[in-house]
Amino acid sequence: MRLLVVGAGSMGRWFGRTVDADLAFADANPDAAVAAADELGGRAVPLDGDEQFDVVCLAVPMDLAAEAVEANAHRAERGMCDVTGSMSKPVAAMREHLPDRERLSLHPLFAPVNAPGNVACVVDESGPLGDALLDDVSAAGNTVFETTPEEHDTAMETVQAAAHAAVLSFGLAADDVRAEFTTPISAALDELVSAVTSGNPRVYADIQSSFGDGTDRVADAARDLAMADDETFADLYRRVAHRDDETDNHEPAE
């Protein structure tokens, strides 16, 4: 399989490393494409070239996904996939610009350094090349599960936008305190803050822009807690405690 990966960052390199293909990389930064090709045994090609490949994989920022589909559709002889992290917009763009070719959207739900893990998958138009790519992703130890663009993007409002907003909000609100005052919960939150802030702020900004309803819900929930009287606070607490049909017999965690 002749595979072009558009986007030579960490996710593009993860995909190139994971699948079995003759690799080429293109990137807005030509040096990044060269570095990825040297690392993984492929070659670098111009971002605006016309050379065609069996499959084109888009590993670009989420806000550029639909644009990248249109710009690279002519280079994909048999199919296109993306690992951009959103699904509704790239899948819609692939349907428009590649109506007669294989179409696949993947979202690895982890940073590449934490691979393997869960990979959300939309097989919008199946075929042998997409099947081969999915087999390679699974063979690398990942758990691939099918979803829809709508289900995926709605879930990302919670598991990405809301989660990141809650963690970063704690980081912004927290004061420096002596280590002796640390509790199990505050220590866990400190670890989460460190994990989130060790990444690329552009990635997290893209998530907030794409799935911002989750962030708004976190802000609304924090406001409700801040304004609640004792009885209302207890009701809100119980609502969370019973979310998964748990009992109300929780002991204090600290």
pLDDT, one tens digit per residue, over 55-100 is 999 999 999 999 999 999 999 999 999 999 999 999 999 999 999 9
- Whether the per-residue pLDDT at 176 is higher than 90: the answer is yes
The model's confidence at residue 243, banded by pLDDT at 50, 70 and 90, is confident
Instruction: Please name the residue that has the structure tokens 């912004």.
Output: 172
pLDDT at 244: 65
Q: How far apart are CA 7 and CA 26, in angstroms?
A: 6
Of 202, 137, 149, 152, which Cα lies nearest the Cα of 3?
137
- Nearest Cα to 210, choosing from 87, 67, 82? 87
Band (50; pLDDT cuts 50, 70, 90) = very high
User: Does any domain span residue 70?
Assistant: yes
Domain match, 24 and 103 both: yes
Domain that holds residue 19: 2-147
What integer pLDDT is reported at residue 200 of this predicted model? 87
**Which tens digits make up the pLDDT trace of 25-43?**
999 999 999 999 999 999 9
Q: Are residues 115 and 82 in the same domain?
A: yes
- Inform me whether the pLDDT recorded for 250 exceeds 50: no
pLDDT band for position 199 (cuts 50, 70, 90) = confident
pLDDT given at position 246: 55
Given 147, 166, 200, the domain boundary residue is: 147
Task: Count CB atoms within 10 A of the CB of residue 170.
Answer: 15
pLDDT score for 248: 45
Burial of 147 per CB tally in 10 Å (0-12, 13-18, 19+)? middle
Which domain CATH number covers 126?
3.40.50.720
pLDDT of residue 45: 98
The residue out of 123, 147, 171 marking a domain boundary is 147
The CA dihedral of 131, 138, 109, 111, to the nearest 10 degrees, is -120
Whether residues 48 and 117 fall in one domain: yes
Query: Distance (Å, rounded) from C-alpha 95 to C-alpha 102?
Result: 10
12 and 75 co-located in one domain: yes
Q: Does residue 209 sit within a domain?
A: yes
What average pLDDT does range 117-144 have in this prediction?
98
- DSSP at 113: G
Of 106, 132, 147, the one marking the end of a domain is 147
Mean pLDDT, the chain, whole residue set: 94
